[in-house]
Structure 1
């Protein structure tokens, strides 16, 4: 017999060799139908794998990330089986589950190309195989057996992966005629997969190395019910309409130019206005919390980043330039702001009475991203962080951390990110060599984050191995209007950079002490935040933030002079107003300006001109009646004032 401990603390005895499916059946028939994988002593297993020792378990369904992971990982294997049936000479790279679905990197063979038009045939084959109810069988083999097997199949990519593994037991998974090198876990069988959509085909260098062969990457997603796929397709169509690249172009917010360089966004006047207002908003919030604005250069000496450890960790992903060839000094385009701020802290002696010191900067940094990974504003090579670094005593750490959480709460409230969770990202205890600093400092930093989050009432999850190399962090995950999850805002505790830069303060005991450093960026980066904000709002920004609050539309050019008079009055009343005096019909002007997401449209014609009035339309709400220009200006300013008061006076 083995003792099985459940998440609620209850313990039950089962026959040795009991499986996750057996345990689920012992609880309820409904759970047995819904369970997808099981955690055994913290490791996710197949439901069909026997448990032979006393264990703590947790059963995962579709509602759990671990359950979906097993479902989508199994689906990647099903797709590979279908590909093998259709393309006999195909070779396989890797096929992982990802956040939403899965992909497989494949080499279709000489002269063979898999294209978007081929996906329907692959989907059909996958469904045919899924209905065969093929079992996913786990098989333990030695490294040599694995090498012999995949060498005999001429699976060169798998052989390369096996050669990189340590000696010992390796696992296969086999379903039907397909066998893959894999740790699992997987579903019990293929019949769980009821609905399939292969979404796209892309190129991907083998193992992410641009010097290797370009493979074909096929993306897909699957569901246990057709209804769930139908709902997902509707959401994807909505996401397409909310795509920040599409809306950004329609609203004339930003642009890219190959002449300037890939991944280097340029903010057009309306986008610059939007960014300025976001920055002004955060500056005002930060001023309330005692931050001081600073500005640092776009470059730094390589030795600065060697001291911080960024060069050793990220040097290959950074841009390097030699700017003083005669002196032989080597500089880098700034990949991080924190080393510069550490040097600012050292500018003069600090006392415990001076702390906390809070430096804030909208600092532009540069990091190399492969061209295939660039995506609108969400993955770029140059971006501006709303960065700040706080230097405090150990006793001040928790209180300062909680104040940063308050700032993030303020931002989320102001921009209607109401649905969010927080992730505590800690060191991987089994891979400590990835991180710098002592165990003692890491333990203190991790405890401070966990306690501060608890005291602020945050619902948190813990992720091992997701910490920055110099310290643990608290990451905020928001759900947008259509349910997609984004990581926005991060706070990190750092005992290590103060040591590396020899930062000090004089304590009340007149002795030298090390400050603790907090890194924080509530927006994350201005580029990515604006992208997420566009997709969350569909471009319908709050009235206080939107670049153009009002557009005036004359019915014909006879009323252009009156329309211009209205524009001038509103602009002089601090209302951002533009004129659309194109020689177009009023219906066309209304439709075009609806696309630009301008909150208010003012229609002016003969009656409005004679009565010194405007006819008001609200974005998405239609006609709101007519009023004098003065009445309209008062209404708008009161609406903006109410929005800002609710933000700043909470």
Structure 2
């Protein structure tokens, strides 16, 4: 039979496998990198017989996203085999591939230890050396049920019952068999680059009401070089972990006795977020926003009117006052609409742009809490633009420009997604279509590329989500722009038009940073704690060599404070080298060293974070150097900013 392989016609025998056909159409070097094959939209194992209807066969290489996915899922099976060999009483559950790796959940009577992971990895290597074949067998539902019942694998029986299919596939390599749709690599010998990383708790089926299992995480790649690159990346990410740096730099902490998922900001951390919030607030005012502030709790019937009670209440906290039910706000939009409704607006008064650094509370499950990146109490740089429909395009574009300015300030690259109507939503089809069209046309007019994220909009409207990439290439969702025709209708927002009649406005929900806590966590990791000069809680530290320079150091401290520089003095009777190392650990941008020579010349010896030495400078020259460095990032976006604690 003839079949096209990678654009080349080849002749193979009837009943040939995918591997045999690919060998004919590819070079030896190319074939060594193939993990599975594709026929149309169907992915096939290499040892699968070519379907009679297949006319074109495409290779899937090991360094492609799909190829890596197959490698990782196959390695998950390899790990499960090793666990069952070493710990026969462990029950297996599910083991998918995930971004950059894989995991498998096990039900075992005791916690797995680091030593267990080492032993499991060694057993996996033995299986690789044995080069066992991955084979697939199709069985009926009854056969599958009996097969796993005989093995005592209760979790597999539950999966079979829930899936309710007539036929299942069982993959086997060596003595290990698993319920799986596949595909998999042809042999275990193809899995040569993997590493087990850690163990975490995980509830069966993701439901905290179910039994807690043990999840072993690992990573797998196409070759040892790619694995090493990723492990180096993980080491760098570990150094940048905002939770570790938060302690090292004394920025924030989490106090379990006060409740999970809530940050406590220490003096320097509180100063950092105040600098950021102060900058953002000034920018809002320059861009035509008005400051507002709403209460933390509102009556439950308001949340029912908005649709939050029906569509979002599992994420909310509720309380009762004077036999009246209240909801703690998870969002700021309701209060802003009530502020708008305080009087009847004219078309000439629109748009109304309301901005609030609003603290909100959301009931996140304990298993997903993660430092500042996932908390239960956080502050949004939240704003709501209430405008006429004919103003909508310009308002969306204005928000996008503000997003671009902020991302440019922090040297973030970013991408945009347009998220459309979810299954659980409110509002008419017409309003959803109008809102989605407004967002897409604004992006098109600005010439910005974006992806469509089907069904992931807010329950009241579609949205643009901005995903930033940090210096390690990690992606974070921050800014959001949502168009809403529904809540203005539910809260009877209106304005008097040019014709003297009442008209319905449209509302744009938008946050530029998103969560202040999350954004700060991202920035801490992005900069590895070495904040830009304008953003650093301490911009300079004065270091004396001996006690004899104390009086002059205090005069220098006052001089820099009067210049608006955030400065502190280390006047302790400690060795200079110790003081310098401490300042470097705390990532202070400038160290101003004062010895007898500096006192005599009324100057400072300036050391710059990173090891450079600016040398002996007058006080005025040193101040100008620091202030110029603080202003530098703002030149790119045409913005200006200054913040001082004095």
TM over 0.5: yes
Distance 1:32 1:438, change over 3 A: farther
Alignment RMSD: 3.3
Superposition deviation, residue 199 in structure 1: 0.7
Q: Give deviations 1:582-626, integer Å, cap 9, x for gaps.
A: 221000000000011110000001111111100000000332111
Q: Which residue of 2 is the match for residue 536 of structure 1?
A: 526
Question: How is 1:82-161 mapped onto 2 (pairs within 5 angstroms)?
Answer: 82-108=82-108, 110=109, 112-161=110-159
2:415 maps to 1:421: yes
Residues 8 and 25 of structure 2 are in contact (CA less than 8 Å); yes or no, is this contact kept in structure 1? no
Q: Give deviations 1:84-132, integer Å, cap 9, x for gaps.
A: 2222122122222222312111012x4x442121111111222222344
Residues 338 and 389 of structure 1 are in contact (CA less than 8 Å); yes or no, is this contact kept in structure 2? yes
- For 1:71 and 1:540, the matched residues in 2 are separated by 37
Distance 1:46 1:517, change over 3 A: farther
Superposition deviation, residue 173 in structure 1: 3.5
2:644 maps to 1:646: no
Match 1:611 to one of 593, 601, 604: 601
2:383 maps to 1:378: no
- After TM superposition, the structure 1 stretch with the greater mean CA deviation from structure 2, 516-525 or 445-454, is 445-454
TM-score of the superposed pair, with normalisation by structure 1: 0.88
Structure 2: runs of 5 or more not aligned: 641-646
Q: Which residue of 2 is the match for residue 177 of structure 1?
A: 175
Q: Which residue of 2 is the match for residue 79 of structure 1?
A: 79
- For 2:438 and 2:83, the matched residues in 1 are separated by 50
Distance 1:469 1:42, change over 3 A: farther
- After TM superposition, the structure 1 stretch with the greater mean CA deviation from structure 2, 404-413 or 367-376, is 367-376
Q: Which residue of 1 is the match for residue 266 of structure 2?
A: 268
- For 1:17 and 1:362, the matched residues in 2 are separated by 67
Q: Which residue of 2 is the match for residue 365 of structure 1?
A: 360
Distance 1:30 1:382, change over 3 A: farther
Counterpart of 1:198 in 2: which secondary structure?
strand
- For 2:51 and 2:381, the matched residues in 1 are separated by 50
Superposition deviation, residue 135 in structure 1: 4.5
2:445 maps to 1:455: yes
Superposition deviation, residue 249 in structure 1: 1.6
Q: Which residue of 2 is the match for residue 257 of structure 1?
A: 255
2:493 maps to 1:503: yes
Residues 141 and 171 of structure 1 are in contact (CA less than 8 Å); yes or no, is this contact kept in structure 2? yes
Q: Which residue of 2 is the match for residue 210 of structure 1?
A: 208
Match 1:553 to one of 528, 543, 548: 543
- For 1:485 and 1:38, the matched residues in 2 are separated by 30
Q: Give deviations 1:290-343, integer Å, cap 9, x for gaps.
A: 222211112222222222232333322322222x1xx32112222122232233
Distance 1:465 1:601, change over 3 A: same
- For 1:398 and 1:457, the matched residues in 2 are separated by 14
2:399 maps to 1:404: yes
- For 2:57 and 2:380, the matched residues in 1 are separated by 42
Question: How is 1:280-295 mapped onto 2 (pairs within 5 angstroms)?
Answer: 280-295=278-293
Counterpart of 2:326 in 1: which secondary structure?
strand
- After TM superposition, the structure 1 stretch with the greater mean CA deviation from structure 2, 441-450 or 292-301, is 441-450
Q: Which residue of 1 is the match for residue 383 of structure 2?
A: 388
Count of residue correspondences: 637
TM-score of the superposed pair, with normalisation by structure 2: 0.89
Distance 1:146 1:275, change over 3 A: same
Distance 1:520 1:221, change over 3 A: same
Distance 1:580 1:518, change over 3 A: same
Residues 351 and 507 of structure 1 are in contact (CA less than 8 Å); yes or no, is this contact kept in structure 2? yes
Residues 4 and 11 of structure 1 are in contact (CA less than 8 Å); yes or no, is this contact kept in structure 2? yes
- After TM superposition, the structure 1 stretch with the greater mean CA deviation from structure 2, 44-53 or 401-410, is 44-53
